[in-house]
A and B are shown apart, each in its own frame.
Chain A
Amino acid sequence: MSAITRDEVAHLARLSRLALADEELDHFAAQLDQIVGAVARVAEVAADDIPPSSHALPLTNVFRPDEVRPSLTPQQALSGAPAVEDDRFRVPRILGEEA
């Protein structure tokens, strides 16, 4: 069963803001198909008595108390930012590429 089509890869690339060339779409479609196929094999061994799960640990209700902890300084917070303006992270234009 071929799960991943070229169009789906193009859609995912768009959602991820990745510019993929046509030949890359084919390339990744094949790769993603293999990955999905490998994961699908898990479904083959899962019996009816094994419920689907999203977590490896059988834990629930891991909470923290509502207590304030020290934050970073703005200098620390912004130290890895590619661009900074007025103590804020400066980012490229948000809308526009599709407008």
Chain B
Amino acid sequence: MTETLMPYDEALAQFEPVLGLETHVELGTASKMFCGCPTTFGAPPNTHVCPVCLALPGSLPTANETAIESTIRIGLALNCSIAGWCRFARKNYFYPDMPKNYQISQYDEPLCFDGYLDVEVDGKTVRIEIERVHLEEDTGKSTHVGGATGRIQGADYSIVDYNRAGIPLVEIVTKPIPGTDRLAPEVARAYATELREVMRSLGVSDVRMEEGSMRCDVNVSLMPRGSSEWGTRTETKNVNSLRSVERSVRSEIERQAAILADGGRIIQETRHFHEDTGLTTSGRSKEEAQDYRYFPEPDLVPIEPDPAWVARLKAELPELPSVRRRRLQAEWGVSDLDMAAMHNADAFGLVEATVAAGAPAADARKWWMGELARRANEAGTSLAELPITPAQIARVTELVASGALNDKLARQVLEGVLAGEGSPDDVVAARGLQIVNDDGELSTIIDQVIAANTDAADKIRGGKIAAVGALVGGVMKASRGKADAGRARQLILDKLGVTE
């Protein structure tokens, strides 16, 4: 099935997008939401299950206090009001990913509501209004067997692992976000990025998008320019990387614009994003109106957060990422532009960790945003996924500062570490990358270079000290970058009997 797309610029010339994001975050509690089963990722199938999360008759759920606390902390960090009293609700649906035939969720009484999160896009602050933050349980994992695609459509049957069923899941829902105009894809990504950093700072989740512990549903609708009536939206489900959040918004804008410009109408539906093509496809052949028959969960009593508890959690919130960034920007003396570049590259935490490991801020930033960003880009991966640690970068900067390496050699050391050759010191030793500090060896090289460049040598003797650059260059080349350029310069001048 191929769909027509309208080029992005053309689409934006005709239409204005309205965004909405629903983000699911698996909490990093030790045990599940309503039972004591462990939550660790990657266990053999159906080893983290018990009568409660398998919904065996007679079992009863009890809410995990840490999960409630984490949800309130998330709400507070997102500037939400915290409900004085609220309940869980049953969301009824007949899908085997929950063995109960319902999911315990929250409906019209979320634990947290009416907040906001400010994000930086293109040097501007965009305030994303938060509608609600509620707590529910994650579903099991289905594998669809048979059929050509391994997807639910056309499958002969499915097999289900309930290890994930019942892991506490927080859903964070934005209000509709109009007015982003052509920056809609970037705003969506910036929001997901900032939200992830907030979660990390709170320590409530490992927010690994590739493992599904954070996933975004992206809502997009278009309205003709000049109109104030929002169009029909689609919801692209379970987008599992920051880059895909951005790409899915862009491609959905291009797809909807083509349909609308052609006089068609948008079907309100669930869609899926495909990493390989960068396109979304329709989630179901036939969308039926959802009717979950929510009602208050009779097996769980209401939650009534003690105001003193909430006040204490608020007082104990960690420094939030935006505040921390402003503080570190001041400490590091970095421009807004450089801060934004680090943020966009998701390099902020890496630079911070590198500084914490002892590197000067300017050096840490230089390596991550220069050489390593280039290599990540070449490899089509993120900085965080590069097989090198902040501590290793800090060690390289230390070796440069001590004079053992220059920048050129340092790049070779990084290359070696990335290639799996061990620590920076291992690579230096194995590749023999130490700067030549031995004056004897350097002296031999310099004599050769002077002999081969008599013109330049004469100029220097005659007082044109600037010409020494050519000789230093020759020494660096002859030593394959391993000479200490400053020392070489001094020795050349000494040999030619010139003083500065």
**What residues of chain A have their CB less than 8 Å away from a CB belonging to chain B?**
11, 15-17, 54-55, 57, 59-74, 77-78, 80, 85-96, 98-99
Contact = CB atoms under 8 A, between A and B. Distances in A.
Contacts of A11: 291
Which 10 pairs of residues, A with B, have the shortest CB-CB distance?
A69-B36, A54-B296, A66-B66, A63-B65, A88-B159, A60-B304, A91-B96, A64-B62, A87-B45, A59-B301
Interface string B96-107: 100100000000
Interface stretch (B238-246, B272-280, B281-289): B281-289
B152 interface: yes
A92 B66 CA distance: 36
A66 B159 contact: no
B36 A77 contact: no
B64 A64 contact: yes
B31 A78 contact: no
Interface residues of B, number: 62
Most chain B beta-carbon neighbours within 10 Å: one of A57, A66, A69, A95: A66
A84 B70 CA distance: 36
A53 to B, nearest CB: 9
A95 B153 contact: yes
A90 B96 CA distance: 10
B44 A74 contact: yes
Q: Which of A59, A86, A89 has the largest number of chain B CB atoms within 10 A?
A: A89
A99 B153 contact: yes
B467 interface: no
Interface centre among A54, A57, A59 (most CB of B within 10 A): A54
B96 A94 contact: yes
A87 B335 CA distance: 55
A93 B158 CA distance: 6
Contacts of A63: 62-65, 68
A62 B63 CA distance: 7
A89 to B, nearest CB: 5
B301 A88 contact: no
A89 B162 contact: yes
